[in-house]
Structures are given as structure tokens and as C-alpha cells.
């Protein structure tokens, strides 16, 4: 079982990072769906996928859409986080050149279409990306 606690009756949101080549699996190899079901059963009020490639987050949203709790995601803009070692910093990672604000918004709109209710951005996703997403969502009504 995954430990989840509520400090002073505060809501608990749990975020998982998924394998960039397989958004159905955590980076450690376990099933995202199984992990998400367990934390939902323990009381998590929202389940997120973060710090993963936008394409992997899209796949992960399909997994989370089967749950009975709200879900969402926020992707990073790195080519890969594989070079990241414990204790190192993201300044060693290379940024994607194909993930401008419009491209990021296109990915995130898919998450919204899959039922995600909390969408944002992680490393290398900045205010311009979020503004483009907000504009796209506003246009959808």
C-alpha cells in the first residue's frame, strides 16, 4: 500500500511521474493505474502526473480517466530526464525545441478532453505556455 496521510484534515493530492516512453508505467516500472487506485482508496482527493514528457502525460490521462477522483497533469519540456541522477539538478538536461507555447497547449488540450481538471506545467514550461493554454481553453468556452 502507498502511504497517504491527511495533515490536519487538509486535502491530499498525489502526483506521479511516468516513464517518458510508456505513460502507463511509473519511472520505477510499476503500473500507474494500480498506484493511482491505491492512493485513491487511501483518500487522495486528486491524482496528478507530473514532470514527464507531454506525450507520456497524454497516455497517463487515459489511465487516470478510469478513476473516480479528479485528475490532471503538468508536463516538462525536456528531451529526457534520464541523465538526471539523485542529487543533481535539471540544469544538466536539454530542453525540447519543438515545445513552444502553442505546441504545449495542443498537448494540454488533449488532457482536458480526456477529463483532466487540473492542468499546468513543470520545468521548461513557463508563463507563455500557460497563457497559450488559457487562451485555448477560453476559446473552447
pLDDT in tens, 119-131: 999 999 999 999 9
pLDDT tens digit sequence for 53-99: 999 999 999 999 999 999 999 999 999 998 888 888 998 899 999 99
In a domain, 102, yes or no: yes
In a domain, 125, yes or no: yes
In a domain, 44, yes or no: yes
Distance from C-alpha of 97 to C-alpha of 1, rounded to nearest angstrom: 39
Residue 83 confidence (pLDDT): 87
In a domain, 70, yes or no: yes
Q: pTM, whole model, 2 decimals?
A: 0.91
Closest CA to 136 of 92, 103, 87: 103
Contact status, residue 71 vs residue 65, Cβ threshold 8 Å: yes
Question: In terms of residue numbers, what domain contains 28?
Answer: 7-140
In a domain, 50, yes or no: yes
In a domain, 91, yes or no: yes
The residues, any chain, with a CB within 8 Å of residue 6's CB and separated by 6 or more, are 12, 43
pLDDT at 7 over 80: no
Tally of domains in the chain: 1
pLDDT at 10 over 90: no
**Over residues 102-108, mean pLDDT:** 97
CATH number at residue 129: 3.20.20.330
Distance from C-alpha of 76 to C-alpha of 32, rounded to nearest angstrom: 18
The response to whether 51 counts as a known ligand-binding position is: yes
* 9 — pLDDT class (breaks 50, 70, 90): confident
Closest CA to 75 of 94, 91, 98, 55: 55
pLDDT tens digit sequence for 19-49: 999 999 999 999 999 999 999 999 999 999 9
In a domain, 33, yes or no: yes
Residue 141 confidence (pLDDT): 78
Residue 15 confidence (pLDDT): 97
In a domain, 2, yes or no: no
Query: Which position has the grid cell 494500480?
Result: 34
Cell numbers standing for residue 17: 511521474
The response to whether 123 counts as a known ligand-binding position is: yes
Amino acid at each position: 500500500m502507498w502511504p497517504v496521510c491527511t495533515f490536519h484534515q487538509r486535502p491530499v493530492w498525489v502526483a506521479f511521474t511516468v516513464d517518458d516512453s510508456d505513460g502507463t508505467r511509473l519511472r520505477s516500472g510499476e503500473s500507474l493505474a494500480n498506484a493511482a487506485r491505491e492512493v485513491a482508496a487511501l483518500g487522495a482527493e486528486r491524482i496528478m502526473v507530473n514532470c514527464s514528457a507531454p506525450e507520456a502525460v497524454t497516455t497517463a490521462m487515459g489511465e487516470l480517466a478510469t478513476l473516480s477522483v479528479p485528475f490532471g497533469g503538468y508536463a516538462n519540456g525536456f528531451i529526457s530526464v534520464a541523465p538526471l541522477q539523485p542529487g543533481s539538478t535539471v540544469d544538466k538536461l536539454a530542453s525540447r525545441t519543438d515545445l513552444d507555447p502553442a505546441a504545449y497547449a495542443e498537448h494540454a488540450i488533449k488532457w482536458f478532453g480526456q477529463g483532466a481538471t487540473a492542468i499546468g506545467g513543470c520545468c521548461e514550461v513557463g508563463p507563455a505556455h500557460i497563457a497559450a493554454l488559457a487562451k485555448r481553453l477560453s476559446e473552447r468556452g
